[in-house]
Amino acid sequence: MNPGHIASLTACALILVRWAAELGFSSLNRRHVLAHSNAVPEPLRGVVDEPTYARSVEYTMAKDRFSSIETTWSTLVLLVTLFSGVLPWGYKLFTGWLGASAGSQAAFFFVVVVALAIPGLPFDWYSQFKLEDRFGFNTTTLKTWWLDRLKGALLAMALGCPLLALVLKLVEWTGERWWLWAWACVLGFQLLMVVLAPVLILPLFNKFTPLPEGPLRERLLALGRRTAFAARSIQVMDGSKRSRHSNAFFTGFGRFRKIVLFDTLIGQLAEPELEAVLAHEVGHCKKRHVPKMLAWSAAGLIVSLYAVAWLAKQDWFYDAFGFPPDDLAPALLVFVLLYGAVTFWISPLQNFWSRRFEYQADAFAAATLGESRSLTGALRKLNEKNLSNLTPHPLYSGFHYSHPTLMERERALARTSH
């Protein structure tokens, strides 16, 4: 068996093992949730009523079953894409028509990404207009849903294609060390987007309005002054345009930073609870969580680009997927398609780190406000309104949850208050 065959079998095994693991974790989670479905968990009795808890169990089960079907379908699509020969056939056709320039290779990459998104559209539609609607979360229209996808595709083309063409051109300009230059360019682009996205991109999808004058605005501004958290503005986002789920976040750096509250969040929480949520977000800033996550992303990016550079020198890698050797675009494309099958296994590490940051931000909020009742109340309401899974299986949680569960956060807050 030649190295190309071994590589293709290894890639197929990686995809199938991840698929089996995803289904196994989902099955574990469903059984675990059902085992605790007879009554509200002891720490939350008197906090979450029985009908709401039963509804959250039903929502969790429905999402989990749907996710398993979607995972199976996307795995099948990926296997067919990688091993049917359609990619090298399309690449030969595309470059034969437009040539093998960096621009045409970038365009081929974009066309493949868009084509691969199409088989998932029925699942996206069902999730939004059937599953979410069934549980009272969907508020979007079919027109908005299609416009979101069209805008996303156009943005990907307008921003992604030139960036990818630049990366491919760097191979010609810089030779063996192209991956270092590519890393610097992509990292610079990501940092630029952190500043520009809140101003230029987010408003394409949502409407942002200043938080009206009044007690809530004064309360939040006072919190900002008390914590030396400088923000350009506090804005309300029309999240209810698409869903009844709620959230809050801040975007940008320095004087470009702004605080964003979903309008649904303002409708669900009392003023002290909104202050606690904002204090939590300020905690992320004060603990420098965003720069740390960007550093993690930068480290992952440089490792990935080095891996692509190494694979692009291996004839067996091209042979495994039917491509002619030497062109970087096919190697980069195959790497991106296989990326999730590999990084899935390190997601618990990233989620562990993310959950640790959430605990730290919670502790900061409690210390800043001098009490944890407001944050606890906010978390309870958010979990109730969003029908969150209160009893996920630990293994499933490790692979899928970037935030601790409600009971985990309450226990941590109780410890910090003593």
Where in the sequence numbering do the catalytic residues fall?
281, 362
* Rounded distance between C-alpha atoms, residue 415 and residue 263, angstroms: 32
Q: What tokens does 95 get?
A: 């470059």
Q: What tokens does 214 get?
A: 């009044």
Contacts of 313 (CB under 8 A, 6+ apart): none
- The torsion angles phi and psi of 298, rounded to 5 degrees, stand at -65, -40
Hey, which residues does 236 pair with through a beta bridge?
Answer: 209, 261
Maximal C-alpha separation, the chain: 73
* Rounded distance between C-alpha atoms, residue 369 and residue 405, angstroms: 22
How many separate helices (H) and strands (E) can be counted in the chain? Answer: 20, 4
Query: Among candidates 135, 262, 153, which has minimal Cα distance to 207?
Result: 262
Residue 317: alpha-carbon gap to chain centroid = 29
Contacts of 10 (CB under 8 A, 6+ apart): none
* Rounded distance between C-alpha atoms, residue 216 and residue 272, angstroms: 9
Hey, which residues does 258 pair with through a beta bridge?
Answer: 233, 251
* Rounded distance between C-alpha atoms, residue 16 and residue 78, angstroms: 10
Hey, which residues does 253 pair with through a beta bridge?
Answer: none
Strands across the sheet with 233-237, in order?
208-210, 233-237, 258-262, 248-251
